[in-house]
Amino acid sequence: MKNLLHSIVRFHFTILFIVIEFFCLLLLVNYNNYQKSQFLNSSNAISGGIYQKVSSITDYLSLVKMNEELNRENARLRNLLKSSYSLSADSSFSFTDTIYKQKYIYRTAKIINNSVNKQLNYITIDKGKIHGIESEMAVVTDHGVVGVVKSVSNNFSSVISLLNNRLRVSAKLKRNNYYGSLIWDGIDYRRAQLKDIPFHVNIAKGDSIVTSGFSAIFPEGIPLGVVDEVLSASGSNFQDVKVLLSNDFKSISYVKVVSDLMKEERLNIEEEALE
C-alpha cells in the first residue's frame, strides 16, 4: 500500500493528464455524431474480432465431443448396413420376422493408450465388460483393421494390435479372392506382409487386401491395405507380398468393436465337424 501511494504521488501529473484526456474524449464522442459513429464502428470491429477468436478456440475445444458423436453415429449407421445382417432361411415362415437377421453389432470406443515401436504392440480402449465388450472381438476403424480384443475389465479392454507379430489375420486379394495370412514383420509400422500366396497368382501394386471372412473374428471385406511391393522369396513356392496398411496407427483415436452375434453357433458347428 505504501508503494502504491508513493507511485501515485510521484506520477500524479501523468495520472491527472490521462483522466482529463479520457474525460475530453468522452465528451467528444457523446456530443458529436460523427465521432460517436466512428467510435462505435471501431469498438464493434474490435469486439467482433475478439468474439471470433473466442469462437475459434471454443470450436477447437469442442472437436473432441464432435468426434465422439460422429463415431457413435457411424457405428449406428454401420449397424444398419446390409453387411451387418445375414439372410434368414426361416423368415418366410413368419410374418413377424424380417428377411434379414442382424449378424454384427458395432460399438465405438476411444483409444487411451497405444504403442507402435515394439515387437508386441497393444492398444487400450475405454470400453469393457459393462459396455458389452468381450475377448476375441474384432477392432476396426472406417479405414480398416486395428486388432483383436485380448483381455477385458469392467471399463477397459486391451487389444492386440495389428502391429503385433503374434497376430495373424486371414486375408485375401479383393480382385481375385486368393487368400493368405497377413502378419506384421516388426520393422515398419505402416507395412505388413501377406503370406501364402502362390507364385502363379497375378498380383499388382495397388491391389486391395481385405479380410477373408474365414475366421470367426473379422467380418469379410474389412480393408487391411494395398499391395506395395511383390518379391520372389527364394526357396519358397509363395510370393513375398509387402502391404501398405490402410490404418496409420500413429494417428487413430477412435475405433469400433465388432460383435458377431452368430459366432458361438459357427464355432460349435465347426467343432462338431472335427469330432
Domain annotation for the chain: domains and CATH numbers: 62-275 (2.40.10.340)
Looking at per-residue pLDDT, the higher value among 249 and 8 belongs to 249
C-alpha cell at position 79: 449397424
Task: Please name the amino acid found at residue 270.
Answer: E
29-33, 64-68, 262-266: range with highest mean pLDDT: 262-266
Local confidence band at 229 (pLDDT 50, 70, 90 cut-offs): very high
Residue 164 pLDDT grade (very low, low, confident, very high; cuts 50, 70, 90)? very high
State whether the Cα torsion 68-72-75-81 is positive or negative: negative
Collapsed DSSP state (helix, strand, coil) of residue 82 = helix
Q: Residue 180 pLDDT > 50, yes or no?
A: yes
What is the band of 272 on the pLDDT scale with cuts at 50, 70, 90? Answer: confident
**Mean pLDDT, residues 157-184 taken together:** 95
Is pTM beyond 0.85 here? no
Question: Using CA atoms, how far apart are residues 75 and 141, in angstroms rounded to an integer?
Answer: 10
First to last CA, the chain: 93
User: Which DSSP symbol is given to 205?
Assistant: T
CB neighbour burial string for 13-47, b if at least 16 within 10 angstroms, e if fewer = eeeeeeeeeeeeeeeebeeeeeeeeebeeeeeeee
Residue type, 60: Y
Mean pLDDT across the chain, nearest whole number? 78
Looking at 93-107, 206-220, 256-270, which range is the least confident one?
93-107
Percent of the chain with pLDDT over 90: 49
Selected residue with higher pLDDT from 24 and 214: 214
75: region left, alpha or beta (phi > 0 left; psi from -120 to 50 alpha):
alpha
In whole angstroms, give the CA distance from residue 75 to residue 108. 6
Q: Rounded to whole angstroms, how far apart are CA atoms 145 and 236?
A: 28
In sequence order, the β-bridge partners of residue 191 are 244
B/e letters for 177-211, b = 16+ CB within 10 Å, e = fewer, are: ebbbebbbeeeebbebbbbebeeeeebeeebbbbb
> Is residue 168 predicted with pLDDT exceeding 50?
yes
